[in-house]
Amino acid sequence: MKILVVIDMQKDFTTGALGNPETAAVVKPVAKKIREFRAAEPDGLIVATLDTHTEDYLNTQEGSFLPVPHCIKGSDGWRLEEEVAEALGPDAVITEKGTFGAIRLPELIGTGRNIDEIQMIGVCTDICVISNAMILKAAFPEVPLRIVADCCAGVTPESHQNALAAMRMCQMIVSETE
């Protein structure tokens, strides 16, 4: 079985409070990759994360380092990009996370499953993608973990490349869309 993990494809990270041209540009490739995965892996599992904060975000540790309110639960910026939401469909597993890494990802994927590969796409490569990739690599050390680089984007192009290099060093496969 293959797993596709879609990280934080929310409006605040693409065109909203923390968006940039690179993150906005991956919306269509991400939606396309989800549709292709669904067609190629009818028994595969798709899990998507939602960065989720509350109105008191600025009073949190993250808020003190990044004083830009974003992904406030229920706000328009918290919502998935429409094209991505449509591609995910009703059967994708959606999980909220209050910080960079979704600590529940291994549980949602299921440690007892026979997993052939985990693929990861989304934003931001240099914060949430790498955080979740490290969680998954620790939980599933013998499962190939593929980062689909052209379906990811970072805070800057340089930090995106740095994150990809770090993931390669941690024995993850970094590739382009197949």
Q: Give the pLDDT of the chain (178 residues) as one tens digit per residue.
A: 999 999 999 999 999 999 999 999 999 999 999 999 999 999 999 999 999 999 999 999 999 999 999 999 999 999 999 999 999 999 999 999 999 999 999 999 987 789 999 999 999 999 999 999 999 999 999 999 999 999 999 999 999 999 999 999 999 999 987 6
Tokens 């949190």 correspond to 60
Question: Three-state SS for 12?
Answer: helix
Strand order of the β-sheet with 2-7 is 93-97, 45-51, 2-7, 117-123, 145-153, 173-175
C-alpha dist (Å) from residue 7 to 56, 59, 69: 23, 24, 19
Total structural domains in the chain? 1
The domain containing residue 167 runs over which residues? 2-175
Q: What is the pTM of this model?
A: 0.96
d(C-alpha 165, C-alpha 152), whole Å: 13
**End-to-end CA distance of the chain, in Å?**
17
- Cβ atoms of 98 and 60 closer than 8 Å: no
CATH number reported for the structural domain that contains residue 110 in this entry: 3.40.50.850
pLDDT, position 178: 67
Burial classification of residue 141, based on how many CB atoms lie within 10 Å of its CB (0-12 exposed, 13-18 middle, 19 or more buried): exposed
Burial per residue of 17-41, b for 16 or more beta-carbon CB atoms within 10 angstroms, e otherwise = ebbbebbbebbebbbebbeebbeeb
pLDDT at 112: 78
Structure tokens at 50: 């939602």
